[in-house]
Chain A
């Protein structure tokens, strides 16, 4: 996953966002050629891309970390979370936790697709 030699045409990497567009601890959802992908910023310039749909009930994982309704009256404040230290995302609907590196949910043993990500000249690129 090197950044220097990746271009859209050469390696099937596709630009999905620019650095600065995705806050640390949050993600965005993109449709790349009909495939829904969630791209997360875990800090230190690292990004992860994973299937956007939780295998449980098809919740959009890109919403993880979104503020809850009346968040100030809740403890955790967000719907699901992006755990930047553990490199995991928990689903905004039922908190299924997905490993961003492997795409595995430990409790169910299920796995969803992950995608290579590169950063090149301020662009965040995903390989399909």
Chain B
């Protein structure tokens, strides 16, 4: 008996229902090529050195994520390279993504030593993004340096009020965490501009030059756990050092730092703080402000000021377990969908339409897919 057959639609790669729901993608990488960035480097001296072989990337890695990927370094481009707005739109159509938040994703910058050259590259990347994406109506997160607060402020002055710039993009790394008071001028500026701070993992983790780092030889360890550990360190450091008491309207989004650690941090922070909080008054901000305790329980800042991107979601297959994890993680208030296009951890929104956890709770689904993003991005 002949079966009914039909040829599958070649253009759509996620369930049909995904096209009926608004999807904002908090982490979509654009990859301008070096030769496209060069015209945007304004200082000829910097351009001269950047155009010299090994001018920008002199640090040899001890280990590389590429070892884990079937196609080596090409893993960073499993889907290709978006260079202009049209590329982004074409890629998003396939995955039912309505509003990608693009970034230039030059995630190797924090690893570089030279302060002048890396600032020049960062500026060039932002100028490129302004021309090719912001001006083309694509919502964009532009980059600010973590290594040079004055430079970050100058960049925010340059483009911080541009329509279409919806967030500031920077990095977490194994160096001083974002709770350090030296970053207060950035927080103050972001608050006044109404821009969230998007913090992405950086390649500064790759060559660890430490006993721990030197013995982490797999992608699973480094990308899978080192990034989330440092995300936790940064989020908790910002909370416990009083960043959000001083800047209550600041929102921080951690990208590629995992998300299922939230229940652990939520309960453990509250337990430890409520048990023995007497050191809080001697942390720099609280000491300066003459305050004894945090204004709220630590977990409340996690719910109110901290957001985490979901890629890769790694949702438990059992719907009941998935629901519990989502509840414990305060997902309705903290999770933002991200695809990480075009990298090897690409996460299309399939999970949201194949798990019963979301079929039974569309409010949480919509919060993750767009509402939380709307709440914090300057759109």
Contact = CB atoms under 8 A, between A and B. Distances in A.
A94 B1 contact: no
A76 B71 CA distance: 8
Listed residue (A16, A69, A74) with the most chain B CB atoms within 10 angstroms of its CB: A69
A59 B14 CA distance: 8
A114 interface: no
Contact of A57 (B5, B344, B348): B348
Contacts of A71: 80
Interface in B306-335: none
Interface in A13-67: 14-16, 28-33, 36, 52, 57-60, 62-63
B78 A14 contact: no
Contact of A62 (B5, B8, B73, B354): B8
* Main DSSP-derived SS at the B contact region: loop
A30 B8 contact: yes
B180 interface: no
A95 B78 contact: yes
A3 interface: no
Given A94-B344, A97-B70, A60 B8 contact: yes
Contact of B1 (A9, A29, A69, A76): A9
B5 A73 contact: no
Contacts of A70: 80-83, 87
A29 B79 contact: no
Contacts of B33: 73
Given A69-B90, A69-B342, A79 B80 contact: yes
Contacts of A76: 71, 74
B116 interface: no
B71 A95 contact: yes
B4 A90 contact: no
Contacts, number: 101
A28 B7 CA distance: 8
B346 interface: yes
Contact of B75 (A30, A36, A62, A95): A95
A85 to B, nearest CB: 15
Contact of B2 (A14, A31, A60, A80): A14
A20 B372 CA distance: 49
A33 B13 contact: no
Contacts of B348: 57, 59, 93
Interface residues of A, number: 37
Interface residues on B, range: 35 or more
Contacts of B350: 57-59
A32 B3 contact: yes
B77 interface: yes
B5 A31 contact: yes
A124 to B, nearest CB: 11
B118 to A, nearest CB: 23
B153 interface: no
B6 interface: yes
B37 to A, nearest CB: 13
B70 A69 contact: no
Contacts of A128: 3
Interface in B1-57: 1-8, 10, 13, 33
B13 A63 contact: yes
Interface string B85-108: 001001100000000000000000
Nearest to B91: A69
A68 B1 contact: no
A56 to B, nearest CB: 10
B78 A93 contact: yes
Contacts of B80: 68-71, 74, 79
A78 B73 CA distance: 14
8 contacts: A33-B5, A59-B13, A68-B77, A70-B80, A73-B83, A75-B71, A90-B70, A95-B70
Interface of B: 1-8, 10, 13, 33, 69-71, 73-75, 77-83, 87, 90-91, 342, 344-348, 350-351, 354
Given A70-B81, A95-B78, 8 more contacts: A14-B3, A32-B4, A59-B350, A62-B8, A75-B73, A75-B77, A93-B78, A94-B346
